Copies of this chain bind each other. A is one copy, B any other.
Amino acid sequence: MSGSGFWKTLETLSPDGSVPLRQALDEIPWNADGLIPAIAQQYDTKEVLMLAWMNREALQETLENGRVCYWSRSRQQLWRKGESSGQVQELREARFDCDGDTLLLLVDQTGPACHTGRRDCFYNLVQGDRLVVDKPVLIDPETLYK
């Protein structure tokens, strides 16, 4: 948690009150790895597609280009979503939560968001004492990443 006075001040702003974005970017309470989680939600259907991570560079690129760029923790590099699969995310809206440590990105996702070829990453459903895969693969990953 941030506990930052900056985000506390925003809590009590009157509706439509605002602050400079640049200032907000300076007040993000990045985690120990310099990252915050970003939730990607399809802007029209409201499906939650995935959660990934951003560092400051990824966030700035995303806001400037309008195309979503994450930080890949496994590859330790900028991850321009769709750069190899073509399944890009156009940014429609970006929001910070109340303590500034999570992003919600409203996006327009081309095709599957998940590297498995499924529309979204949340296909593992808890059902009683089982975990059930309940969403279909739309495009074979071998086709996506060939």
Instruction: Report whether B51 and A97 are in contact in the complex, using a CB–CB cutoff of 8 Å.
Output: yes
Q: Which of A94, A102, A122 has the most CB of B within 10 A?
A: A122
For residue A139, give the distance in angstroms from its CB to the closest CB of chain B: 14
CB of A5 within 8 A of chain B? no
Instruction: Report whether B98 and A133 are in contact in the complex, using a CB–CB cutoff of 8 Å.
Output: no
CB of A111 within 8 A of chain B? no
Q: Complex Cα distance A45/B46, Å? A: 9
Beyond A21-B129, A48-B48, A74-B3, is A15–B134 a contact (Cβ under 8 Å)?
yes
Q: Complex Cα distance A13/B134, Å? A: 10
CB of A123 within 8 A of chain B? yes
Q: What is the 8 Å Cβ interface bit string for chain A, positions 115-132, against chain B (1 contact, 0 not)?
A: 110100111111111111
Give A residues with C-beta under 8 Å from B. Answer: 1, 3, 10-11, 13-24, 37, 39, 41, 45-48, 50-51, 63, 73-74, 93-98, 100, 102, 104, 114-116, 118, 121-136
Q: List 8 A-B contacts (CB under 8 A).
A: A3-B74, A10-B131, A21-B130, A37-B37, A48-B48, A98-B116, A98-B121, A100-B124
